[in-house]
Amino acid sequence: MKIYGVTGWKNAGKTTLMERLVQEFVARGLKVSTVKHAHHDTDVDQEGRDSYRHRTAGAQEVMLASPKRWALMHELRGDAEPPLSELLARMSKVDLILVEGYKSEAHPKIEAYRSVSVKAPLAEKNPTIRAIASDCPVETDLPLLDLNDTAQIADFISEELGL
C-alpha cells in the first residue's frame, strides 16, 4: 500500500485538503483509506449506546456491525498509543492511505500552510515534508503548491508514489 501524509499547524486546512484529496483520488479510480491522528481524547461512541456500554464495562475491543458499515473500537486501558505502522497493519489493503497528522512519522507528507498562520512552516525542520501547499507565498526550497488546487496536489502525490 502507498502511504502519504498531510500535516500542518492547527487550522491550516489539513482536514479540508484531506477531504478534497480523497474525492480526487477516488474519482481517479483509486481505493483510498485515511488515518486521522488526534492529540486529544476522542470518542466515536455515544453514551447510552449498547457498544458504549460494552466498552465502559471493560471490553478491550468492541466491534459494531450493521448492514452498511462496521467499526472496531479498541481501548488502550493504560497501554501506550500504538505507532502508526501498527495501526496501518490493521487496515484493509487499498491503493492509497492518506494520513492526517503524525508530523514526526517517517512517511512522506505535504504541509498545508495558510496565510493566517503565525508560525513558520513545519517543513523548515521536518525532512519528511516533500512540498508545501499554501494559499500565500512561502520562502522554501521545496515545491510550493496551491492549497486550493486539489488536482495539482494529487498529481504531485501521484508522481511521488508512482501511482
Top pLDDT among 46 and 80 is at 80
Question: What does the pLDDT look like over 87-139, one tens digit per residue?
Answer: 999 999 999 999 998 988 999 999 999 988 878 999 989 999 999 999 999 99
- According to the model, what pLDDT value does residue 41 have? 67
3-state helix, strand, coil in the chain (%, to 5): 25, 25, 50
Is residue 59 domain-resident? no
Beta strand pairing status for 96-100 and 2-7? Answer: parallel
Give mean pLDDT, residues 12-28.
Answer: 96
Mean pLDDT of 9-34: 95
Average pLDDT of the residues in 78-88 = 90
Under a CB-based contact definition with an 8 Å cutoff, are residues 119 and 100 in contact?
no
In a domain, 101, yes or no: yes
Domain membership of residue 110 (yes or no) is yes
Looking at residue 13, its pLDDT comes to 92
CATH code of the domain in which 136 resides: 3.40.50.300
Question: What is the mean pLDDT of the segment spanning 59-83?
Answer: 86
75 lies in some domain: no
Say which amino acid occupies 101. G
| Res. 72: pLDDT tops 80 | yes
Number of domains in the chain: 1
pLDDT, tens only, 24-65:
999 999 999 999 888 766 667 778 787 888 888 888 888 888
pLDDT category at 73 given cuts 50, 70, 90 is confident
Structural domain of 107: 2-43+81-161
User: What are the distances in angstroms from CA 4 to CA 22, 110, 111?
Assistant: 12, 8, 11
- Give me the pLDDT at residue 105, please: 92
4: pLDDT strictly greater than 80: yes
State yes or no: pLDDT of 145 exceeds 90. yes
Q: What is the pLDDT of residue 42?
A: 67
The answer as to whether 53 is a domain residue is no
Say if residues 26 and 120 touch (Cβ distance below 8 Å). Answer: no
Question: Rounded distance, CA 60 to CA 57, Å?
Answer: 9
